[in-house]
Amino acid sequence: MQNATTAPVIEVQDLTCGYGATVVLQKVSFSVCARELFFVIGGSGCGKSTLLRCLIGLLKPTQGDVAYFGKSFTQSEALDRRAILKSFGVLYQDNALWSSMTLAENVSLPLEEHTALSRRDREEIVALKLTQVGLAGAEDLFPAELSGGMKKRAALARALALDPAIVFFDEPSEGLDPITSRAMDQLILQVRETLGTTMVIVSHQLSSIFRLADRAIFLDHAAKGIIAEGAPNELAATSTDPRVRDFLNQDADSLKRPDHSSK
């Protein structure tokens, strides 16, 4: 694990969640440290998206707790919950950009909802955020005018609008070609390096997992929880669980994460 302090910014304890009578995850516990590139990985149907929904407050767990910076998110009152929500941003798998709004209007939405900034101040922040993701000057474009990679960057700019300490990503490379996917990975590294942001990334893309992850938890459908935790390279080399080995070694030789310990 690189560039992570020992103090966790996210603590998940005995989390159980699902839909109706169907339990998807049971008694899941883990923590995420500051500045960490933390991945949630595993095969289809293992509960990655369900876990993300619990972490960002879209799904209420039936048991357990999610805490941010030592404060319970799951059990918080409305005012405290709103304050915690402002501490993280989310990049959704489908980007969730409003098609009828320009990029400037999309990125400005969190600022309008959560701050009392003037229009001029909001415009300055929007321009800064679009510059940070490589979309300087694109304020007046609409989502339909953008490529897939540009839409991901625009969605990231919106997720960064409030300068969150944590950003959650739901399959950030989904639908991107290999070159654009690599560029997105480099942008994620750049944001972490520049802003010190903690990243929690749900992904099944092996190239991104090995390229980026400081640490990962491996979820399994049958186990309804975590069956492995650690650096992906180490898990691929040393795990005794065939489910973990088979997933991580599909093309291991060409996908090993490079050493960027200086980042």
Query: What local confidence, expressed as pLDDT, does residue 263 receive?
Result: 44
**What proportions of the chain, in percent to the nearest 5, are helix, strand and coil?**
40, 25, 40
Query: What local confidence, expressed as pLDDT, does residue 5 receive?
Result: 47
Q: What percentage of the chain carries pLDDT values higher than 90?
A: 84
Over range 89-115, report the average pLDDT: 93
Q: What is the pLDDT of residues 14-39, one digit of tens each?
A: 999 999 999 999 999 999 999 999 99
Judged against a pLDDT cut of 80, whether residue 254 lies above it is answered with no
Domain ranges of the chain: 8-87+165-255, 97-163
pLDDT band at 93 (very low <50, low <70, confident <90, very high): confident
Query: What local confidence, expressed as pLDDT, does residue 6 receive?
Result: 63
pTM of the model: 0.89
Q: What is the pLDDT of residues 150-173, one digit of tens each?
A: 999 999 999 999 999 999 999 998
Q: What is the mean pLDDT of the chain?
A: 91
Query: What local confidence, expressed as pLDDT, does residue 7 receive?
Result: 75
pLDDT band at 196 (very low <50, low <70, confident <90, very high): very high
How far is residue 10's CA from residue 66's CA, in Å, rounded to a whole number?
A: 7
Which residue bears the tokens 């997992």? 209
Q: Please say whether the structural domain 8-87+165-255 has been given the CATH code 3.40.50.300.
A: yes
Query: What local confidence, expressed as pLDDT, does residue 95 receive?
Result: 85
- Of 43-57, 131-145, 241-255, least confident by mean pLDDT is 241-255
Q: What is the pLDDT of residues 208-242, one digit of tens each?
A: 999 999 999 999 999 999 999 999 999 999 999 99
Judged against a pLDDT cut of 60, whether residue 3 lies above it is answered with no
Tell me the residue type at 217: I
Over range 198-213, report the average pLDDT: 94
| Buried b / exposed e along 210-244 (16+ C-beta atoms within 10 A) | bbbbbbbbbbbeebbbbbbebbbbebbeebeeebb
**Can you tell me whether residue 26 is helix, strand or coil?**
strand
Q: What percentage of the chain carries pLDDT values higher than 70?
A: 93
Rg (the chain; Cα; Å): 18
How far is residue 55's CA from residue 19's CA, in Å, rounded to a whole number?
A: 15
